[in-house]
Amino acid sequence: MKFSDSFLDEIRTRLPVSQVVSRRVQLKKAGREWKGLSPFNKEKTPSFTVNDQKGFYHCFSSGKHGDIFTFLMEMEGLSFPEAVERLAGDAGVSMPAPDPRYERTMKERLGLMDAVEAAAKLFEQAIRAKGGREALGYAEGRGISRDTIAEFRMGYAPGGRDSLKSALLKQGFTEAQLLEAGLVIKPDDGRPTYDRFRNRLVIPILNAKSRVIAFGARALASDAQPKYLNSPETKLFDKGSMVFNFTRARQSAFEKGELIVVEGYMDVIALHQAGFKNAVATLGTAFTERQMEVLWLLAPEPVICFDGDRAGEAAAARAVDRMLPALREGRSFRFAFLPEGQDPDDLVRGAGPAAFAGHLKSAHPLIDMVWTRETSAAPLDTPERRAAFEARLETLLGEIGNTRVRDHYRREIKNRLFELWRPQAPRARQTGGKEVRKPARREAVPPPTPCGFATIVILALVNHPRLFDRFAEDVASFDVRDKKLAGLLDAVTRAISETPSITRETLIAELRDGPHAKPIERLFWDSPFKRLAFLQPETPQAEVEAQFADVIYRWRALPTLNREIEESADQLTEMSEAEFERFVTLQQEVASVGLRHEGDDAGERDANQRFQEMLARLRKEPPSRGRRSEKRQ
């Protein structure tokens, strides 16, 4: 139903944004605005603002923005018409009268809903009667309690050809209504209509207003086909946009910030009974864009549960292709695979709710599913196959409609390809039945070149961006002569400064996508310093900081030490033993630094070289201990 702007404005005028928002968010006055903690993200510092004059709210932590209608849609998963109807009631504004065509359509729908509701009641009565013992026994055999059976209004469809049809006709419903509601089937050969559901456990499917609109039914006879049967598409039931248990799961999904999606309604019922009130099912249909939008009303990243067998993996692979085009900022899916041969119902009953919760925690993001599917699709042992693999990935990425999400997927894929193609450690070989790993060739890290110090600093900052928090001033004072390295260091520090929470992976991705792609690749592939232990990503932060501080100290000390060496070199013949030992200590400090200061000029380098030569001679002919004292006498 369409609403006029004047009608919506009337509701907005009567309901300030702060009044609607304050029902869920504790607000404090801040000038002309109100502030509070974001209802969309966990935070300690308020970033959520409400402006009644402008009629909107804005969440800086999540980027969400809107008016009273969008707030209700975001917080409670309501559709726009539902939000309008709710707020119109709160504001005391009468809903507009529908046009005659809409009213006629609604009257027809209500007639169909009455017929479906009447069928639901008959099914409920039947499962409690003598003829429904088998259906009741089946449900209880699946671990479903009587209370849960009543809560979900589970029922029994008798085995007669027209038991339901006869009962509903007696209540005044027409055969045409029963056909339109999907309760009976009309044979093509002209025979009389007959009941669609016969000798089945029946579960009602509800719409967003908790009204019965269709049924799902499980066969009780072992040879009956299909095992699960749903109502057909009708004016009430659009299978491509419906999810089972949406209404019951809504509140729990909002409170937990998580939605569980399974394949069948029996799984949903079992999970609901086990405490997972935030479970829904897709009624056995392939994921449609409309279903994904419905799921995202309840949670930003629903967890899709699949059986851990080939069928489950195949279903997940098919789902990936349908999900990629619909992705957008903050909206995706995660995948949880259960043990092979078990569905959620089996796992909860056999291993308990904690086991199922554990599988939810280990759910994989969608990008992992894309990567796993494509890496396992074919061998990657030749250049041609690797090229085909990259082409498949590029085609998949092109399916993502949202530009920003697509760009981030490309960066992530590029990082994974970089790790995949990089040289691997030597493979193990079999000798005498035992596995013997060929020892890796040990390569000494050569002394740094004049650019070595800058290389170490850049590698340290890239692998541990948090170093910049403590050493920003020290890094800013570095004088890097090499233009490429200077540009790369500047890009690294700028990226960390602009995004304080940046991670190593994101930083590398940004550098590879910019003008510094080649220098950063060379740094990680060719630089001998990448092997230094404290530069490794997995090294603890405290150890990294200590090593980095030592590097900075030595860098600052090196020019002074060189000057002392140069000044002392001409006085070797006059040195006492203590002075000579001090001279040797200076040389050892310079040697231990192992780093060339970026500002060293030729004179300093020549002095150091002269010192090395003199020291070599002195080690062969050390000065006599009494040389200086004799001269003074």
Q: Quick check: 461 pLDDT over 90?
A: no
User: Do residues 501 and 403 lie in contact, with contact meaning Cβ atoms separated by under 8 Å?
Assistant: no
Q: Mean pLDDT over all residues of the chain?
A: 80
- DSSP category for residue 613: H
Task: Report pLDDT for 558.
Answer: 55
User: Do residues 594 and 546 lie in contact, with contact meaning Cβ atoms separated by under 8 Å?
Assistant: no
Q: In this prediction, what percent of the chain has a pLDDT beyond 70? A: 78
Q: Quick check: 406 pLDDT over 90?
A: yes
Task: Judge if pTM exceeds 0.75.
Answer: no
* Residue with more model confidence, 485 or 178: 178
Q: In this prediction, what percent of the chain has a pLDDT beyond 90? A: 37
Q: Quick check: 3 pLDDT over 70?
A: yes
Residue 194 φ/ψ, nearest 5 degrees: -145, 165
Q: Quick check: 155 pLDDT over 70?
A: yes
For residue 313, what are its two tokens?
Answer: 């993996």
User: Do residues 403 and 410 lie in contact, with contact meaning Cβ atoms separated by under 8 Å?
Assistant: no
Per-residue model confidence as pLDDT tens digits over 613-622: 554 554 444 4
Sheet of strand 228-230, all strands in order from the earlier edge strand to the far edge: 155-157, 200-206, 212-219, 228-230
Task: Report pLDDT for 618.
Answer: 47
- DSSP state string for 191-207: PPPEES--SEEEEEEE-
Smallest CA-to-CA distance from 527 within 452, 457, 423 is with 452
* Residue with more model confidence, 466 or 249: 249
Q: Quick check: 245 pLDDT over 70?
A: yes
H helices then E strands: how many in the chain? 27, 18
Tokens 């079999």: give the residue: 430
User: Do residues 177 and 112 lie in contact, with contact meaning Cβ atoms separated by under 8 Å?
Assistant: yes
Task: Report pLDDT for 465.
Answer: 87
Which segment of 180-184, 342-346, 524-528, 581-585 scores lowest on mean pLDDT? Answer: 581-585
User: Do residues 456 and 492 lie in contact, with contact meaning Cβ atoms separated by under 8 Å?
Assistant: no
User: Do residues 213 and 116 lie in contact, with contact meaning Cβ atoms separated by under 8 Å?
Assistant: yes
Task: Report pLDDT for 442.
Answer: 35
- What's the rounded Cα separation, in Å, for the pair 15 and 13? 6
Per-residue model confidence as pLDDT tens digits over 351-390: 899 999 998 998 999 999 999 899 988 999 899 999 999 9
The number of beta carbons lying within 10 Å of the beta carbon of residue 6 is: 8
